[in-house]
């Protein structure tokens, strides 16, 4: 008893400081994660639930729509991650020769589109993609290219979503890459120059390898973001036409809140989690280095 009192006197303030966050954490993250695992093995309605074993997972993997959604999401993520990494690296590298003022002006310009919501930006893209009086068809028309049904043609809609994502150079990548490039020690370049290295050799031999940690970080967060694409799909195409732009999160949303199949939606979400975790793991394995400079 005395020990309990002493323990309480020593640590009560520590527990007081973490209590609000931890309560919220267990209530709204910890418990729901465990509940999601349970739900995935149940047939759930708003009023009742019953165990169904692996049925939800069997349904998920035997559903053509889910496999299609996985494929669409994969295509989207691969192209978006590649384009974002390359474009932000290129912009950051091109920015280097300029003074701080010019650099921060451009960094601000590239970051600005990311402070507005995806809903807002997607609404503009809907107008830009509008077949009859949208900006894009007008612009292409000037070069004699015929009218394109950007969001209505089943073979094009997914590419339009990708296009709308990658045409905006990601501000996070530009900011992080230019900070990393700026912190590479000058001596490395000077040493290379003494050895007679040209600009291209310095770029591939020094800059790119030393940026690997930044590349890894960006790749992981962009891959996660790519696999979770939802808002622009929801508002620009709703997954259509004929489900040709349905992505995994769009499908989870539909399964849960149109079909009210909560068990299957949980199973889909867990599969998404597994895919994201697997990709992150592979990226860490192949890209992690212990670069120190």
The one among 87, 237, 243, 245 contacting other proteins by CB under 8 A: 87
Q: Beta partners for 49? A: 44
Tell me which residue of 252, 277, 249 sits closest to 266, measured CA to CA: 252
Q: How many residues bind other proteins (CB under 8 A)?
A: 104
Which stretch, 60-68, 72-80, 151-159, 255-263, contacts other proteins (CB under 8 A)?
Answer: 255-263
Q: How many CB atoms lie within 10 A of CB 46?
A: 7
Minimum separation from the CB atom of position 154 to other proteins (A): 21
- Interface with other proteins, residue 103, by CB under 8 A: yes
Q: According to the binding rule CB under 8 A, does residue 52 interact with other proteins? A: no
Using CB under 8 A as the binding rule, whether residue 24 contacts other proteins is answered as yes
Report the b/e string of 199-225 with b at 16+ CB within 10 A.
eeebeeebbeebbeebbbbbbbbbbeb
In terms of CB distance, is 155 or 200 closer to other proteins? 200
Q: CB nearer to other proteins: give 115 or 155.
A: 115
Closest C-alpha to 276, from 225, 234, 205, 240: 225
Structural contact between residues 93 and 85, judged by C-beta atoms closer than 8 angstroms = no
Site track 190-229 with other proteins (rule: CB under 8 A), x = hit:
x--x-----------------------x---xx-xx-xx-
> Binding other proteins by CB under 8 A: which of 41, 76, 79, 106?
106
Written as six digits, the tokens of 231 are: 């808002």
Q: How near is the Cβ of 66 to other proteins at its closest, in Å?
A: 14
Q: How far is the CB of 67 from other proteins (least distance, A)?
A: 18
Task: Answer for the pair 245, 161: CB distance below 8 angstroms, yes or no.
Answer: yes
Binding window for other proteins (CB under 8 A); candidates: 51-59, 69-77, 154-162, 273-281: 273-281
Rg, C-alpha atoms of the chain: 25
For the chain, first and last CA: distance in Å?
54
> How near is the Cβ of 155 to other proteins at its closest, in Å?
24
- Binding residues for other proteins restricted to 131-170, rule: CB under 8 A: 132-133, 135, 138, 167-169
Assess 278 for contact with other proteins (CB under 8 A). no
d(CA 287, CA 212): 7
Return the number of other C-beta atoms located less than 10 Å from residue 36's C-beta.
Answer: 16
Which of 57, 125, 150, 279 binds other proteins (CB under 8 A)? It is: 125
């Amino acid at each position: 008893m005395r020990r309990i009192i002493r323990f309480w006197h020593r640590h009560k303030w520590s527990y007081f400081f973490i209590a609000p966050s931890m309560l919220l954490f267990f209530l709204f993250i910890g418990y729901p994660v465990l509940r999601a695992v349970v739900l995935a093995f149940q047939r759930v309605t708003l009023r009742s639930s019953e165990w169904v074993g692996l049925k939800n997972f069997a349904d998920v993997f035997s559903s053509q729509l889910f496999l299609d959604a996985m494929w669409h999401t994969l295509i989207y993520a691969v192209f978006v991650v590649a384009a974002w990494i390359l474009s932000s690296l290129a912009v950051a590298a091109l920015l280097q020769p300029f003074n701080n003022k010019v650099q921060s002006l451009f960094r601000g310009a590239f970051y600005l589109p990311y402070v507005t919501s995806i809903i807002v930006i997607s609404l503009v893209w809907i107008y830009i993609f509008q077949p009859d009086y949208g900006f894009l068809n007008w612009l292409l028309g000037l070069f004699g290219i015929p009218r394109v049904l950007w969001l209505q043609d089943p073979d094009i809609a997914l590419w339009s979503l990708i296009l709308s994502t990658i045409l905006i150079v990601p501000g996070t990548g530009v900011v992080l890459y230019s900070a990393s490039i700026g912190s590479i020690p000058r001596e490395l370049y000077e040493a290379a120059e003494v050895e007679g290295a040209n600009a291209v050799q310095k770029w591939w031999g020094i800059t790119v390898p030393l940026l690997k940690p930044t590349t890894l970080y960006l790749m992981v967060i962009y891959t996660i973001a790519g696999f979770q694409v939802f808002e622009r799909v929801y508002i620009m195409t709703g997954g259509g036409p004929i489900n040709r732009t349905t992505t995994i999160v769009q499908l989870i949303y539909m399964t849960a809140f149109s079909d009210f199949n909560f068990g299957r939606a949980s199973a889909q979400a867990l599969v998404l989690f597994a895919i994201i975790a697997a990709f992150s793991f592979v990226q860490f394995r192949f890209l992690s280095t212990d670069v120190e400079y």
